[in-house]
Structure 1
Amino acid sequence: MSRLRSGHWLALATALIALDQVTKWVVLSHIQLGETIVVAPFWNWVLAFNTGAAFSFLSDAGGWQRWFFTGLAFAIAGWIVVMLRRHASDLHLSLALSLILAGALGNVIDRIRFGAVVDFIQWHVAGYYWPAFNVADSAIVGGAILLALTQLRPRPASGDHA
């Protein structure tokens, strides 16, 4: 495989941000707040606005959390861009970081535009409902899992991380 550059990873993150925003645009155009569309026995489309973080953490904090989470996401995004430049040829690490970057910025766009994150995927089983989420959230979770797995893999003795 040819040597990957940070620009490739940033392009992937940009494409995922676009996918996230398009899906949110479709949901905002077709689902009303409080409406539920059953997709499968375990899966609904809904429209929810989350002013907090994961699992609505700090959602009732009074508004300051919007800018706190926005600033935090920008700080993390800056760090990730630096890491992508340093480790662009590390496939697994860079993929994980690109997913996290896309998710963080996808949700920041919502916070800036709407004051809350647009969530619309709802999974449930036996009357228990997982909090609604979106494509950006999925990218963050997938990236975090891959990042954890990347840290568990054996490293070459020479220190070469490619």
Structure 2
Amino acid sequence: MTAAAGSFSRWLWGPYSALALKIAVVTFVVDQAHKWWMLLIYRIEEKGRVTITSFFDLVFVKNTGISYSMLDGSSSSWQLVLALFSVIASAALWAWLAGAGTGRLMAWALGLIIGGALGNGLDRVLIGGVADFFSLHAYGFYWYVFNIADVAIVAGVVLLLYDSFVGSRNDAANSG
């Protein structure tokens, strides 16, 4: 293998890539299976809001924007732009994972984020927006409606933050 090929392959596969790939695939499959079950089997769209507890409902919302419906746009070309962005962002995260020599925690974090982003991106292509179902509320305040992919993305970001603080403290302690 040439030096150029070896350098390029390091951008595609690293020591924790297999773990991250497994996490991303499981996240993507669970998210998509849940969405299609909710839409095609449970038929949440026909049922409207379904109260589960005093603070949790199931409801169907098609989010045509990004977080909190910002940059909302229902055109198919806009949905393709957002889907393409999820693919580009996932590729960039994958390159970071493969090239940075990250640890297991970061592999989990990036796998969750990549799987969630690609799940939401596929929704944009197939149904023209992201399918969201979970509605939390209390005392008249309704939080945004979200899905399993969103939970995975947030969990991944929390793990990245945790890793950045714990890693920074460990690096500082070991360098002294």
TM-score by length of 2: 0.80
**Largest Rg, 1 or 2:** 2
**What is the CA–CA distance in structure 1 between the aligned matches of 2:122 and 2:64, rounded to whole Å?**
13
Q: Would you say how many aligned residue pairs link Structure 1 and Structure 2? A: 158
Aligned to 1:46: 59
| C-alpha spacing 1:87/1:110, structure 2 compared with 1 (3 Å) | same
Higher helix share: 2
Partner of 1:139, secondary structure, is helix
User: What does residue range 14-29 of structure 1 map to in structure 2 within 5 Å?
Assistant: 14-29=25-40
- Superposed CA RMSD in Å reads 2.4
Q: Of 150, 155, 159, which aligns to 2:163?
A: 150
7, 18, 21: which one aligns with 1:7: 18
Q: Deviations over 1:46-104 (max 9, x none)?
A: 01100001101112475543122212111111112112223465012111111110110
- The alpha-carbon distance between structure 1 residues 118 and 88, as it changes in their structure 2 partners (threshold 3 A), is farther
In structure 2, what residue type is equivalent to 1:86? G
Residue of 71, 83, 86 corresponding to 1:73: 86
Give the structure-1-normalised TM-score: 0.87
Alignment of 1:130-141 (within 5 A): 130-141=143-154
Tell me, which stretches of 5 or more residues in structure 1 are unaligned? none
Q: Is the 8 A contact 1:9 1:88 kept in 2?
A: no
